[in-house]
Amino acid sequence: MSVTVRLPGALRDATGGETKLTASGGTLREVISEIDRRHPGFASRVLDEGGALRSYVNVYIGEDDARTRGGSGAVVPDGSEVMVIPAMAGGR
Amino acid sequence: MSRLTAELVRERVRDTILERIGDTPLIPLHRVGAGLRGGLWAKIESANPGGSVKDRPALWMILDAEEEGRLRRRRIVLDATSGNTGVALAMVCAVRGYDLELCMPDKVSIERKRIARAFGAQLVLTDPLEGTDGAIREAQRRAAADPDRYVYVDQYSNLANPLSHELGTGAEIWKQTGGRVTHFVAGVGTSGTVVGVSRALRPKRVRIVAVQPDEALHGIEGWKHMPTALRPAIWDERVADVHRVMATDEAIAMTKRLAREEGIFTGPSGGAAVAAGIAVAREESGRIVVLIADGGERYLSTPLWE
């Protein structure tokens, strides 16, 4: 199961500068864990201590908000694109 | 140099909803501020007719463009915003009779898009991965490509933004506290609030506290993590006596306490500002005023209140 993960510039420091990665996993949590193995500390930027999506992080699987599909437990279909959205920072 | 004064602004908006911008309430925080020496007050900017502090700079920036003659021809007002400034500009433009285009990141909360559209604004949605900085770059591109068509308000560079806080917010706080305020605490987004209030109150020996998010990926909407963001031209670190950072989790916890213990329904930036104010009060006794920028209604579709 391979998916493309697109990250905001605000997470670039957590992935060695990469903002587009390929990862594997059947659920969003597994995908995040797989990236965390390559880039330790990544998961804690996106998930809270209980393993849920941080309240200020939005993740889309394709066009769907992951929260509407089970949050970090959402199934990630093979070949899909996962997008992590930054909080809206500055000036509103 | 802007020719605007508080009196001129009042004159220009007489007998419209816009004359209700400003003069927002200053409310003592009895419970979340319990045990602190001195005292803690919140300036409630959700009481503005557009629902946020951004009504102030939006009004002053549009009136400034009118005074300079830039809006006399039928041109389109343009700016980049992730929400509250867009709503405020849309309200002001509706009253003053201007067309408005707003560049904002796709997937901003649905409330802001719908309210801005309700006031008649046209939205240009930009790459959500680039956040507000991506929206700024798109507004800059549009303005440069067709300068005769647009009046690019540019809240990040517009001197009428801090001026609205110098002659409005800051002057109000001084009057409302009878000159007894010792500290002013606010977050930095465009930086207009901190820069403007500093100009009004620092000469009166009020200490200015500027607060930023503690990391680049944060949930304090409207605030900028300056080390990783496009730097607003109006920002000047020297306007603040103290610089602090705030974690999103602490901000959200205080946002919820404000609702349950003080009856103040706000967003994450309001909680962040109050939490920072309490931290200041533990270190420096005084009569501390904290600015709460908007109301919690703007976040109903987000996970904040689930």
Q: B72-84: per-residue pLDDT in tens?
A: 768 999 999 878 9
CB B101 within 8 A of CB B135: no
CATH number, residue B71: 3.40.50.1100
Indicate the residue of A60, A67, A90 with minimum beta-carbon distance to B303.
A67
Let me know whether B211 and B293 are in one domain.
yes
Q: Measured between CB atoms, does A71 come within 8 Å of chain B?
A: no
pLDDT class of B230 with cuts at 50, 70, 90: confident
Which residue among B152, B186, B213 closes a domain?
B152
The answer to whether B224 is a known catalytic residue is no
Judged by CB atoms closer than 8 Å, whether chains meet at B218 and A56 is answered as yes
Total tally of structural domains belonging to chain A: 1
Q: At B301, is the pLDDT very low, low, confident or very high (cuts 50, 70, 90)?
A: confident
Q: How far apart are the first and last CA of chain B?
A: 46
Q: In chain B, where does DSSP find H-type helix?
A: 6-12, 55-67, 84-96, 110-118, 131-145, 160-164, 170-176, 192-201, 248-257, 268-283
Alpha carbon separation from B90 to A91, B49, B71, B178, B197 (Å, rounded): 15, 12, 15, 34, 24
- The pTM for the full model equals 0.92
Query: According to the model, what pLDDT value does residue A90 have?
Result: 44
Judge whether A33 is closer than 8 Å to chain B, CB to CB.
no
CB pairs under 8 A between A and B: 119
pLDDT of residue B268: 93
Rounded-to-integer distance, Cα B67 and Cα B63, Å: 6
CATH of the domain at A62: 3.10.20.30
> Is residue A91 domain-resident?
no
B80 contacts on A by Cβ (under 8 Å): 91
A7, A8, A90 ranked by CB distance to B222: nearest: A90
Q: Please name the helix (run of DSSP H) or strand (run of DSSP E) that holds residue A28, with its range, or none.
A: helix A28-38
Contact A90 B219 (CB under 8 A): no
B244 and B299 both lie in a single domain = yes
B246 at the A interface (CB within 8 A)? no
Looking at the fold, whether B61 and B121 belong to one and the same domain comes out as yes
Q: Which of residues 150-209 of B touch A (CB under 8 A)?
A: 155-156, 189-190
Chain B nearest-CA distance from A87, in A, is: 5
CA dihedral B187, B112, B71, B17 (to 10 degrees): -90
- Written as one string, the DSSP assignment of B32-71 is TTTT-SEEEEEEEGGGSTTSBTTHHHHHHHHHHHHHTTTT
Q: What mean pLDDT do residues A28-39 have?
A: 96
**Non-local CB neighbours of B87 within 8 Å, separated by 6+ positions:** B50, B51, B52, B54, B112, B115, B116, B119
Are residues B131 and A7, on separate chains, in Cβ contact within 8 Å?
no
Instruction: Tell me the C-alpha distance between B140 and B142, whole Å.
Output: 6
Would A16 be classed as within a structural domain? yes
The predicted structure's pLDDT at residue B204 = 98
Which is nearest to A57 in space by CA: A24, A8, A23?
A: A8
Q: Quick one: pLDDT at residue A91?
A: 45
Q: What is the pLDDT of residue B109?
A: 75
- Cβ atoms of A90 and B222 closer than 8 Å: yes
> B248 to chain A: nearest residue by CA?
A56
* ipTM tops 0.85: no
Residue B217 has pLDDT above 60, yes or no: yes
pLDDT band, very low/low/confident/very high, at A88 (cuts 50, 70, 90): low
Q: Which of B290, B12, B18, B302 is nearest to B169 (CA)?
A: B290
CB contact under 8 A, B221 and A88: yes
Q: Would residue A92 count as lying in a domain? A: no
What Rg, from alpha-carbon coordinates, does chain A have? 12
Say yes or no: B186 and B286 in one domain. yes
Distance from C-alpha of B248 to C-alpha of B272, rounded to nearest angstrom: 7
Tell me which of B124, B152, B180 is where a domain ends: B152
Domain match, B63 and B45 both: no
Q: Per the domain annotation, does A67 fall within a domain?
A: yes
Above pLDDT 70, what percent of chain B? 99
Domain count, chain B: 2
Which domain covers residue B226, as residue numbers? Answer: 6-51+161-305
Residue B160 corresponds to which amino acid? A
Segments forming the whole domain that contains residue A30:
2-85
Q: CA distances (Å), B19 to each of A69, B42, B49, B51, B233, in order?
A: 46, 22, 9, 14, 29
B107 → closest Cβ in A9, A53, A85: A85
Contact B41, B29 (CB under 8 A): yes
Q: How many CB atoms lie within 10 A of CB B188?
A: 27
B32 pLDDT band, cuts 50/70/90, is: very high
Boundary (domain end) residue, out of B97, B118, B152: B152
Mark yes or no for CB contact B304/A55 under 8 Å: yes
Q: Is-contact B211 B188, C-beta < 8 A?
A: yes
Whether residue B134 is contained in a domain is answered as yes
User: What's the pLDDT score for residue B153?
Assistant: 97
Predicted local confidence at residue B60, as pLDDT: 98
Strand A58-61 and strand A81-85: the pairing is: antiparallel
Q: How many CB atoms lie within 10 A of CB A88?
A: 28
Same domain flag for B22 and B119: no
In a domain, B1, yes or no: no
- % of chain B exceeding 90 in pLDDT: 82
Statement to judge: residues B195 and B289 lie in one domain: yes
Q: Name the closest residue on chain A to residue B108, using Cα atoms.
A: A88
Taking all residues of chain A, what is their mean pLDDT, rounded to a whole number? Answer: 89
> Does the structure show a pLDDT above 50 at A61?
yes
Average pLDDT over residues B169-184: 98
Residue B269 among the catalytic residues: yes
Residue B266 is classified by DSSP as B
Residues B147, B272 within the same domain: no
Does A89 have pLDDT greater than 50?
Answer: no
Co-location of B118 and B237 in the same domain: no
Distance CA A32, CA B143 (A): 39
| Tens digit of each residue's pLDDT (9 = 90 or more) over B87-104 | 999 999 999 999 999 999
In a domain, A75, yes or no: yes
A60 CB within 8 Å of a chain B CB: yes
Write out pLDDT tens, residues B269-280: 999 999 999 999
Mean pLDDT of all residues in chain B? 94
Q: How confident is the model at residue B221 (pLDDT cuts 50, 70, 90)?
A: confident
Which pLDDT value is given to residue A87?
57
Q: Report if residue A90 sits inside a domain.
A: no
Looking at A4-8, B115-119, B256-260, B297-301, which range is the least confident one? Answer: B297-301
Residue B102 · residue B79 · CB < 8 Å: yes
Residues B18 and B124 in one domain: no
Question: Are the C-beta atoms of residues B262 and B29 closer than 8 Å to each other?
Answer: yes
Examine the domain organization and report whether B91 and B238 are in the same domain: no
Residues B194 and B245 in one domain: yes
Chain A contact set for B133 (CB, 8 A): 9, 90
Q: Given B43, B54, B113, B224, which residue is catalytic? A: B54
Q: Which residues are CB-neighbours of B281 under 8 A, at least 6 positions away?
A: B33, B36, B37, B38, B40, B288
